[in-house]
A = this chain, B = another copy of it.
Amino acid sequence: MSLLTVDTPSLILDETVMQRNIMRMNDQMRKLGVAFRPHLKTAKCRDVARRQLLPERPMGTVSTLKEAEYFFDDGLTDMIYAVGIAPHKLPRIQALRDKGCDIKILLDNVASAQLVSRYCLENRCSIPVLVEIDCDGHRSGIRPNDPALLDVASHLTDGAQLIGVLTHAGGSYDVHTPELLLDRARQERDGIVTAARRLRRAGHEIDIVSLGSTPTALSAEDLTGVTEVRAGVYVFFDLFQRGVGVCTSDDIAVSLLVTVIGHQPEKGWVITDGGWMALSRDRGTASQPDDCGYGLVCDVDGNLLEGLWVSGANQEHGIISNRSGAPLDPERYPIGTRLRILPNHACSTAAQHDRYVVIDGNREIRAVWPRIHGW
């Protein structure tokens, strides 16, 4: 099978590019002298995770308990479930821990700390807990200097063991210069180190000081005081990360293979079988200076076709046109032509698929890797 015969739409993963991305991040972590805990939610794929995890000390981050169970079945034991715990999920956490999975949970408020402590007491179990720190105001967590931090820590009792702090510089997604990225990386580090210091001064043992986002992980110059970094989308990259400035389009390892099924010559449109069901509804680049529509267009070999974009998407139809508005000549892309679309956001596009069609820099398909979805 090759890219000219496999069914479309199909999600293509170029392993050569992915391996380069993995090496780049691993080199950066070595340079910073910090452990790396890849976020496995981007790929949700055993075959990808095996290549991301460091053999000397495999540690992973997950965003759902389904991921935790799936990667535990594949032999991974050291995991952080990096979404604030919903109390009803504790029995599933406990079931994993009872089987030997060292999964840690996250919370950022007194009520959750009390609920976890009560659960551990009633079930005579122990669950390691990280407190979530808000380093930039973008979502969850306690501000590093907020008095609530010590309050939450003091409500972790019985088997609910405070072992660390965690933050995610989601705000780094909004910037796109090296100076601002470095600034966000510093802010993330300063925030988490401050939180760890305050807890230690109050007598808590803090073993894990965890931070990360792909932009800050790749931009940080000094992570003194940090024990581990998390990042996810670096493994595939995407147009959004290109807009942030941490990769080029050559670094994007996933693309959607589509087939031309029609034209609107008067409008200069090429219609393909790759709509939002296959690309996702993600329009993340709309908020960036370089809005890429529903994706940029490459030929079947992955070479960017300058000036083209996916300007519209219905459920199973994609509309390709010139970004300039000048009409496209449909004869250049006859019915049956195969094209590859670079996605705005690798996490959301990959989530629309249950497998990766794997290539190695050419048209030949060398493997098909399944991925999971759901909760």
Contact = CB atoms under 8 A, between A and B. Distances in A.
Given A63-B316, A336-B87, A374-B353, A108 B283 contact: no
A280 interface: yes
Contacts of A134: 264
B261 A336 contact: no
Contact of A140 (B271, B277, B278, B281): B271
A345 B108 CA distance: 32
A51 to B, nearest CB: 21
| Contact residues on A (Cβ < 8 Å of other chain), bracket | 35 or more
A7 interface: yes
Nearest to A4: B88
Contacts of A351: 277, 352
A314 interface: yes
A249 interface: no
B280 A88 contact: no
A134 B87 CA distance: 52
State the copy count for this chain: 2
Contact of A335 (B115, B262, B273): B115
A7 to B, nearest CB: 6
Given A139-B317, A139-B319, A276-B348, 13 more contacts: A7-B375, A84-B262, A84-B317, A86-B273, A88-B259, A107-B262, A109-B263, A137-B267, A139-B312, A170-B314, A281-B282, A281-B283, A353-B374
Across chains A and B, which 7 residue pairs bring their CB atoms closest together, nearest first? A84-B261, A281-B281, A86-B259, A111-B335, A281-B282, A84-B262, A63-B316
8 contacts: A8-B88, A86-B261, A87-B259, A139-B312, A139-B314, A276-B348, A280-B281, A353-B374
Interface of A: 5, 7-10, 41, 63-64, 83-89, 107-109, 111-112, 115, 132, 134, 137, 139-140, 170, 259-264, 267, 271, 273, 276-278, 280-283, 312, 314-317, 319, 334-336, 345, 347-348, 351-354, 373-375
